[in-house]
Amino acid sequence: MASSPTILVIGGGLSGLSLSLFLTRFLPQATIKIYEARPASQPSTSGTINMTPNALRVLDHIGIYQSLIPDGYNFDTISMMNHRFDTLATIPMAGAADFGYQALRIERSFIHLALLAKVKEQSQIEVIYGSKCSSVSESDSGVTVTFENGTTSTGDLLIACDGIHSTVRKSFMANPEDHDPKYMQQVSIGGFISTSEIEKYNTKNATYPMMMFGPESETGANFMIWPYTRAGDEVTFFTTISKPDEEEDWKSYAGDGLKLKELLTSVFGGDDSPWNEMVRKTVELSDPERYRFWAFYLHNLPDKFYSEKARIIIIGDAAHAMPPSGGQGGAMAFEDAESLAYALSYAYGTSKLEKLDKPQGLEIVQKWSEHRIARIKTIQELNKRMSDMRKGNSGSTSGMMFTFKVWVIWILGLLGVLGRTRRVINDYNAKQEMINLFGEDVAKLE
């Protein structure tokens, strides 16, 4: 493999753009081609995303964090409450004093567009739109990708950032069907509303964001209200609902706001609802046209994130999809991007490798992969705990599980356990982790 490699990046989302920007900094002799399935007229994604310090540290290293601060809601804590609107605990999520950054809830499009603007400044990066990957093959001399439009591209290395339904992942796994996405029996439904429409129902002046837990039911027992603008004048609200049966056409939900609102009303609305007035009114006053729907899917974690010849590497959801319940899916993709850029640049630059599949190069990729898999397993376990707290109880109405959850939240908050858990998440620094893994030579890459 040449010391001035041509690197193909499949997927122009958050992780693909971030990776490419880091590579141009650490490995300026590389040529990078990003292939994105969407058309150039629709380059960014919709919805909001929660960015914790581990993710914001990556964006700061790229150089876009400061520009994003005015575009989102900055916060340090989250209020954990019961369905009666009583505060159970105030959980630290972030904070400049402890972690260097406040947490940030922001529209995904702001991050995506900021990354795209940075990419356009780099002469080494080319973005090719309307290019959906259909197959990938590697050889001793390179890797070739074929697109649905009939075109092909060959490079020295391919990085797959093509999401949970990754075509690239299937191309080199021994048993690709073992890694097909599986429905997790949960869906998330939510929408957007102006704070002014619901603030008068915040009778206890509770601080935002709020995560509320209520009596157990077949569907679930949670409701979140989360600002996403700097002033906090707009909020997103959402719930995770247990839905055991996978439906063939989830698009029938995603495109039908009235259907989604009716479903939320059946769970949280009505005069006999045990939920507080702020929740009931948020659902009642919400606009069906602003509703969103997500079905939760996961795939088995691969044993490694690279192919036999190490010419194909997967990151982000292609490698380790997570449900949004823990708020770390995007963060893990950003961590992947920065850490992999350091590892590859160390392999190509410091080690003067000609081919990654030589013993030294393969060892570098292997170490990076093992490091990331260990990190992902830790975060997945924390994610699972959060997801389990939002599950329904398959029909029990005794309230026993609800009482148990309330006590667990209160005790963990009192003991500070939840805050210490945040440190495991928030303290990750890709540069330092790669120095620990490969030595001080990594520090010379910038």
Distance, in Å, from the CA atom of 143 to the CA atom of 40, rounded to the nearest integer, reads 25
- pLDDT band at residue 350 using 50, 70 and 90 as cut-offs: low
**DSSP track, 260-290:** HHHHHHHHH-STT--S-HHHHHHHHH--GGG
Which domain, by its residues, includes 376? 6-181+298-445
In 3-state terms, the chain is what percent helix, strand and coil (to 5)?
45, 25, 35
Q: What global pTM score does this model have?
A: 0.90
- What average pLDDT does range 193-201 have in this prediction? 97
Per residue in 302-324, pLDDT tens? 999 999 989 999 999 999 988 77
In a domain, 62, yes or no: yes
DSSP 302: P
DSSP code at position 210? E
Of 117, 160, 221, 152, the closest CA to residue 19 belongs to 160
Which CATH number does the domain housing residue 360 bear?
3.50.50.60
Give me the count of residues in the chain.
Answer: 446
On the question of pLDDT at 250 being above 70, the answer is no
> Which residue blocks in 74-230 are alpha helix, DSSP H?
96-99, 108-120, 167-172, 195-198
In a domain, 260, yes or no: no
> Which tens digit of pLDDT belongs to each residue from 7-34?
999 999 999 999 999 999 999 989 999 9
Residue 354 has pLDDT above 70, yes or no: no
Burial class of residue 215 in the structure, from the number of CB atoms within 10 Å of its CB (0-12 exposed, 13-18 middle, 19+ buried): middle
Once rounded to an integer, what is the mean pLDDT over residues 61-70?
97
Highest mean pLDDT (candidates 38-42, 88-92, 193-197): 193-197
Considering just the CA atoms, what is the radius of gyration of the chain in Å? 22
Q: 10 Å Cβ neighbour count for 126? A: 13
Number of domains in the chain: 1
Let me know if residue 248 belongs to a domain. Answer: no
- 401 versus 161: which is more confidently predicted? 161
433 vs 57, 98, 263, 345, CA distance in Å?
13, 19, 45, 15
pLDDT at 127 (0 to 100): 97
Question: Residue 255 domain-assigned?
Answer: no
- Our measurement of the distance from residue 346's CA atom to the centroid of its chain's CA atoms, rounded to an integer in Å, reads 26
Ranges 28-42, 287-301, 418-432: which has the least confidence: 418-432
Q: Is residue 128 scored above 60 in pLDDT?
A: yes
- Listed in sequence order, the residues at least 6 apart from 217 whose beta carbon sits closer than 8 Å to its beta carbon are 267, 392, 393, 397
Question: Tokens 């077949």 identify what position?
Answer: 218
Query: Residue 221 above 80 pLDDT?
Result: no
Per-residue confidence (pLDDT) for residue 140, from 0 to 100: 87
State both tokens at 185: 């029996």
User: What SS3 class is residue 138?
Assistant: strand
Give the containing element (helix H, strand E) for 434.
helix 430-438
- Given a cut of 70, is residue 411 above it in pLDDT? no
Q: Is 99 buried (19+), middle (13-18) or exposed (0-12) by CB count in 10 A?
A: buried
Q: Given a cut of 60, is residue 407 above it in pLDDT?
A: no
Neighbour-count burial of 226, counting CB atoms closer than 10 A to its CB (0-12 exposed, 13-18 middle, 19+ buried): buried
In a domain, 213, yes or no: no
Give the phi and the psi of residue 236 in degrees, each rounded to 5: -105, 140
Element (H, E) at 59: helix 53-62
Residue 151 scores a pLDDT above 50? yes
DSSP state for residue 30 in the 8-state scheme: -
Domain membership flag for residue 334:
yes
